[in-house]
Amino acid sequence: MKFNIVSYILISIFSFYLSSCDRSSPIPDSGTILETIEATINFDLSSRTNWKLYAGDKRYQFTVDGSTLYAKPYDSSKPFVFPHSTGTGKMQLLLFPPDYGKTRSESTLPPNFENQSTYEKFMACDMLKAEYSGMINPNLQNITLYHENALLNFNVTNIPQNANVFIGQIRYQKIKPLKDGSDPTSYKAIVFPTNYYKSINLVVETDHKTYSTTLESSKTRMPSHYPEGLGNSAVVSFHAFINEQDELEIENLKREAFSKEWPIIQ
Protein backbone atom coordinates (compact mmCIF):
# COMPACT_ATOMS: atom_id res chain seq x y z
CA MET A 1 0.00 0.00 0.00
CA LYS A 2 1.28 3.43 -0.83
CA PHE A 3 2.00 5.49 2.23
CA ASN A 4 0.97 9.08 1.61
CA ILE A 5 3.47 11.64 2.86
CA VAL A 6 0.65 13.70 4.33
CA SER A 7 -0.26 10.81 6.63
CA TYR A 8 3.36 10.55 7.72
CA ILE A 9 3.48 14.27 8.49
CA LEU A 10 0.28 14.22 10.52
CA ILE A 11 1.19 11.08 12.44
CA SER A 12 4.62 12.42 13.20
CA ILE A 13 3.48 15.86 14.29
CA PHE A 14 0.22 15.10 16.06
CA SER A 15 0.94 11.70 17.58
CA PHE A 16 4.48 12.36 18.75
CA TYR A 17 5.39 16.00 18.90
CA LEU A 18 2.15 17.31 20.28
CA SER A 19 2.17 14.68 23.01
CA SER A 20 5.73 15.52 23.99
CA CYS A 21 5.74 19.30 23.67
CA ASP A 22 6.53 19.69 27.38
CA ARG A 23 9.84 17.83 27.10
CA SER A 24 13.07 19.75 27.04
CA SER A 25 14.71 20.10 23.65
CA PRO A 26 18.08 21.83 23.80
CA ILE A 27 19.02 24.09 20.91
CA PRO A 28 21.88 22.59 18.87
CA ASP A 29 25.24 24.39 19.11
CA SER A 30 25.46 24.53 15.34
CA GLY A 31 22.37 25.91 13.64
CA THR A 32 20.34 28.97 12.72
CA ILE A 33 17.29 29.62 14.86
CA LEU A 34 14.13 30.51 12.96
CA GLU A 35 13.26 33.68 14.88
CA THR A 36 10.38 35.15 12.88
CA ILE A 37 8.00 34.14 10.10
CA GLU A 38 5.77 36.25 7.88
CA ALA A 39 3.24 34.29 5.84
CA THR A 40 0.22 35.29 3.76
CA ILE A 41 -2.78 33.84 1.95
CA ASN A 42 -5.46 35.41 -0.24
CA PHE A 43 -8.13 35.97 2.45
CA ASP A 44 -8.52 37.38 5.96
CA LEU A 45 -6.99 35.14 8.66
CA SER A 46 -8.61 36.97 11.58
CA SER A 47 -10.98 34.11 12.41
CA ARG A 48 -8.04 31.73 12.84
CA THR A 49 -6.11 33.45 15.62
CA ASN A 50 -6.86 30.56 18.03
CA TRP A 51 -5.39 27.96 15.63
CA LYS A 52 -2.06 26.20 16.15
CA LEU A 53 1.03 26.97 14.10
CA TYR A 54 4.02 24.66 13.71
CA ALA A 55 7.31 25.26 11.92
CA GLY A 56 8.57 21.73 11.41
CA ASP A 57 7.97 20.04 14.75
CA LYS A 58 8.14 23.26 16.80
CA ARG A 59 5.13 25.27 17.83
CA TYR A 60 5.09 29.01 17.06
CA GLN A 61 2.85 31.77 18.40
CA PHE A 62 1.45 34.27 15.95
CA THR A 63 -0.57 37.42 15.42
CA VAL A 64 -2.70 38.26 12.39
CA ASP A 65 -3.07 41.42 10.37
CA GLY A 66 -5.65 40.76 7.67
CA SER A 67 -4.28 38.12 5.32
CA THR A 68 -0.82 38.04 6.93
CA LEU A 69 0.42 36.28 10.04
CA TYR A 70 3.55 37.10 12.01
CA ALA A 71 5.08 34.35 14.10
CA LYS A 72 7.85 33.65 16.60
CA PRO A 73 8.70 30.59 18.73
CA TYR A 74 6.00 29.62 21.24
CA ASP A 75 8.77 28.58 23.62
CA SER A 76 12.07 30.42 23.15
CA SER A 77 13.95 27.32 24.29
CA LYS A 78 12.33 25.18 21.58
CA PRO A 79 12.61 27.00 18.24
CA PHE A 80 12.93 25.48 14.80
CA VAL A 81 16.63 25.28 13.90
CA PHE A 82 18.14 25.18 10.43
CA PRO A 83 21.32 23.04 10.56
CA HIS A 84 24.58 24.69 9.50
CA SER A 85 25.67 21.72 7.44
CA THR A 86 24.62 23.52 4.26
CA GLY A 87 23.80 27.05 3.16
CA THR A 88 20.25 26.09 2.22
CA GLY A 89 17.45 24.60 4.24
CA LYS A 90 13.86 23.44 4.25
CA MET A 91 10.96 24.18 6.55
CA GLN A 92 7.32 23.11 6.57
CA LEU A 93 4.70 25.39 8.10
CA LEU A 94 1.32 24.04 9.27
CA LEU A 95 -1.62 26.08 10.57
CA PHE A 96 -4.62 24.07 11.75
CA PRO A 97 -7.67 24.25 14.06
CA PRO A 98 -7.27 23.13 17.70
CA ASP A 99 -9.23 19.90 17.16
CA TYR A 100 -7.78 19.05 13.76
CA GLY A 101 -5.09 16.59 14.78
CA LYS A 102 -7.10 13.77 16.26
CA THR A 103 -5.62 10.29 16.10
CA ARG A 104 -6.17 8.56 12.78
CA SER A 105 -4.78 5.66 10.82
CA GLU A 106 -3.78 5.76 7.17
CA SER A 107 -7.11 4.35 6.05
CA THR A 108 -9.59 6.15 8.30
CA LEU A 109 -10.77 9.72 8.62
CA PRO A 110 -10.31 11.65 11.86
CA PRO A 111 -13.66 11.88 13.69
CA ASN A 112 -14.08 15.61 13.13
CA PHE A 113 -13.98 15.14 9.35
CA GLU A 114 -17.16 13.11 9.25
CA ASN A 115 -19.55 15.92 10.16
CA GLN A 116 -19.04 19.14 8.21
CA SER A 117 -22.69 20.21 8.36
CA THR A 118 -22.12 23.58 10.03
CA TYR A 119 -19.76 26.42 9.17
CA GLU A 120 -17.73 25.84 12.33
CA LYS A 121 -17.41 22.10 11.73
CA PHE A 122 -16.54 22.68 8.08
CA MET A 123 -13.77 25.13 9.00
CA ALA A 124 -12.37 22.70 11.59
CA CYS A 125 -11.45 20.36 8.72
CA ASP A 126 -9.26 22.92 7.03
CA MET A 127 -5.48 23.11 7.32
CA LEU A 128 -3.14 25.69 5.83
CA LYS A 129 0.37 24.76 4.80
CA ALA A 130 3.52 26.30 3.37
CA GLU A 131 6.87 24.85 2.41
CA TYR A 132 10.08 26.86 2.38
CA SER A 133 13.19 25.75 0.54
CA GLY A 134 16.07 28.15 0.05
CA MET A 135 18.81 30.07 1.75
CA ILE A 136 18.90 29.71 5.52
CA ASN A 137 17.53 32.85 7.13
CA PRO A 138 16.48 33.50 10.75
CA ASN A 139 13.68 35.79 9.51
CA LEU A 140 11.53 34.31 6.77
CA GLN A 141 9.23 36.61 4.80
CA ASN A 142 6.92 36.32 1.81
CA ILE A 143 5.91 32.76 2.70
CA THR A 144 2.73 31.74 0.85
CA LEU A 145 0.15 29.60 2.63
CA TYR A 146 -2.29 27.34 0.79
CA HIS A 147 -5.01 24.86 1.73
CA GLU A 148 -3.59 21.41 2.19
CA ASN A 149 -6.89 19.63 1.60
CA ALA A 150 -9.30 19.77 -1.32
CA LEU A 151 -12.78 21.20 -1.65
CA LEU A 152 -15.70 19.40 -3.25
CA ASN A 153 -18.13 22.08 -4.44
CA PHE A 154 -21.30 20.60 -5.92
CA ASN A 155 -25.06 20.75 -6.22
CA VAL A 156 -27.63 17.94 -6.27
CA THR A 157 -31.03 18.37 -7.92
CA ASN A 158 -34.15 16.32 -8.64
CA ILE A 159 -34.04 14.59 -5.26
CA PRO A 160 -36.70 14.50 -2.47
CA GLN A 161 -36.56 17.49 -0.13
CA ASN A 162 -35.81 15.32 2.92
CA ALA A 163 -33.05 13.29 1.22
CA ASN A 164 -29.69 12.98 2.96
CA VAL A 165 -26.55 13.72 0.92
CA PHE A 166 -23.16 12.28 1.89
CA ILE A 167 -19.68 11.90 0.51
CA GLY A 168 -18.55 8.30 0.94
CA GLN A 169 -14.86 7.51 1.32
CA ILE A 170 -12.69 4.55 2.21
CA ARG A 171 -14.10 1.94 4.63
CA TYR A 172 -17.67 3.21 4.09
CA GLN A 173 -17.12 6.37 6.07
CA LYS A 174 -19.56 9.15 5.32
CA ILE A 175 -18.83 12.86 5.28
CA LYS A 176 -21.87 15.00 5.95
CA PRO A 177 -21.27 18.09 3.80
CA LEU A 178 -22.04 21.73 4.48
CA LYS A 179 -25.36 22.73 2.93
CA ASP A 180 -25.73 26.21 1.52
CA GLY A 181 -28.28 28.14 3.56
CA SER A 182 -29.41 30.24 0.59
CA ASP A 183 -29.38 27.42 -1.98
CA PRO A 184 -30.53 24.04 -0.54
CA THR A 185 -29.21 22.21 -3.61
CA SER A 186 -25.59 23.33 -3.07
CA TYR A 187 -23.03 21.55 -0.89
CA LYS A 188 -19.37 21.77 0.09
CA ALA A 189 -17.10 19.16 1.66
CA ILE A 190 -13.42 19.01 2.53
CA VAL A 191 -11.75 15.72 1.68
CA PHE A 192 -8.61 14.31 3.23
CA PRO A 193 -5.53 13.69 1.04
CA THR A 194 -4.54 10.25 2.36
CA ASN A 195 -7.72 8.68 1.01
CA TYR A 196 -7.29 9.96 -2.54
CA TYR A 197 -5.89 6.65 -3.77
CA LYS A 198 -9.42 5.35 -3.41
CA SER A 199 -12.47 6.58 -5.26
CA ILE A 200 -14.90 9.01 -3.65
CA ASN A 201 -18.63 8.29 -3.75
CA LEU A 202 -21.61 10.61 -3.76
CA VAL A 203 -24.47 9.05 -1.77
CA VAL A 204 -28.10 10.20 -1.66
CA GLU A 205 -30.37 8.49 0.85
CA THR A 206 -34.14 8.78 0.41
CA ASP A 207 -37.02 7.06 2.19
CA HIS A 208 -37.32 4.42 -0.50
CA LYS A 209 -33.84 4.07 -1.99
CA THR A 210 -30.15 4.78 -1.51
CA TYR A 211 -28.41 6.16 -4.59
CA SER A 212 -24.66 6.11 -5.07
CA THR A 213 -22.30 7.08 -7.84
CA THR A 214 -18.53 7.05 -7.96
CA LEU A 215 -16.14 9.92 -8.51
CA GLU A 216 -13.31 7.85 -9.89
CA SER A 217 -9.87 8.75 -8.56
CA SER A 218 -8.63 8.97 -12.14
CA LYS A 219 -11.11 11.82 -12.73
CA THR A 220 -10.69 13.70 -9.46
CA ARG A 221 -6.97 13.33 -8.82
CA MET A 222 -5.04 16.53 -9.44
CA PRO A 223 -1.99 16.61 -11.74
CA SER A 224 0.08 17.81 -8.81
CA HIS A 225 3.48 16.49 -7.79
CA TYR A 226 2.70 16.86 -4.08
CA PRO A 227 0.69 15.45 -2.52
CA GLU A 228 -0.27 12.78 -5.01
CA GLY A 229 -3.97 13.21 -5.47
CA LEU A 230 -6.34 16.04 -4.67
CA GLY A 231 -4.90 18.80 -2.58
CA ASN A 232 -2.83 21.95 -2.66
CA SER A 233 -5.99 24.09 -2.74
CA ALA A 234 -7.69 21.90 -5.31
CA VAL A 235 -11.37 22.35 -6.12
CA VAL A 236 -13.55 19.67 -7.72
CA SER A 237 -16.98 20.88 -8.80
CA PHE A 238 -19.88 18.97 -10.35
CA HIS A 239 -23.65 18.69 -10.69
CA ALA A 240 -25.53 15.53 -9.67
CA PHE A 241 -29.14 14.53 -10.27
CA ILE A 242 -31.45 11.52 -10.43
CA ASN A 243 -32.06 10.79 -14.09
CA GLU A 244 -35.04 9.24 -15.89
CA GLN A 245 -33.62 5.76 -15.31
CA ASP A 246 -33.79 6.43 -11.54
CA GLU A 247 -30.00 6.54 -11.28
CA LEU A 248 -27.75 9.11 -9.68
CA GLU A 249 -25.81 10.80 -12.44
CA ILE A 250 -22.91 13.28 -12.41
CA GLU A 251 -22.27 15.88 -15.07
CA ASN A 252 -20.08 18.93 -15.65
CA LEU A 253 -17.27 17.67 -13.47
CA LYS A 254 -14.45 20.20 -13.34
CA ARG A 255 -11.19 20.11 -11.42
CA GLU A 256 -8.69 22.79 -10.67
CA ALA A 257 -5.44 22.56 -8.73
CA PHE A 258 -4.13 25.47 -6.64
CA SER A 259 -7.45 27.25 -7.03
CA LYS A 260 -7.72 30.79 -5.65
CA GLU A 261 -11.43 30.13 -5.16
CA TRP A 262 -10.68 27.89 -2.14
CA PRO A 263 -12.51 28.22 0.11
CA ILE A 264 -15.72 29.73 -1.20
CA ILE A 265 -16.42 30.83 2.37
CA GLN A 266 -13.66 31.80 4.73
For residues 218-247, average pLDDT: 72
Is residue 11 pLDDT above 70, yes or no?
Answer: no
For residues 131-147, average pLDDT: 91
Is residue 26 pLDDT above 70, yes or no?
Answer: no
Q: With bands split at pLDDT 50, 70 and 90, how would you rate the model's confidence at 113?
A: confident
Q: With bands split at pLDDT 50, 70 and 90, how would you rate the model's confidence at 146?
A: confident
Q: What pTM did the predictor assign?
A: 0.77
When comparing pLDDT for 168 and 179, which is higher? 179
Give residue 117's pLDDT. Answer: 93
Give residue 147's pLDDT. Answer: 86
Q: Which of 49-58, 97-106, 177-186 has the least mean pLDDT? A: 97-106
Give residue 191's pLDDT. Answer: 81
Give residue 29's pLDDT. Answer: 58
Asked if 86 contacts 40 with a C-beta cutoff of 8 angstroms, the reply is no
Is residue 103 pLDDT above 60, yes or no?
Answer: no
Is residue 179 pLDDT above 80, yes or no?
Answer: yes
pLDDT digits (tens, 9 = 90+) for 29-73: 578 999 999 999 888 899 899 999 999 999 999 999 999 999 999
When comparing pLDDT for 173 and 166, which is higher? 166
Give residue 20's pLDDT. Answer: 45
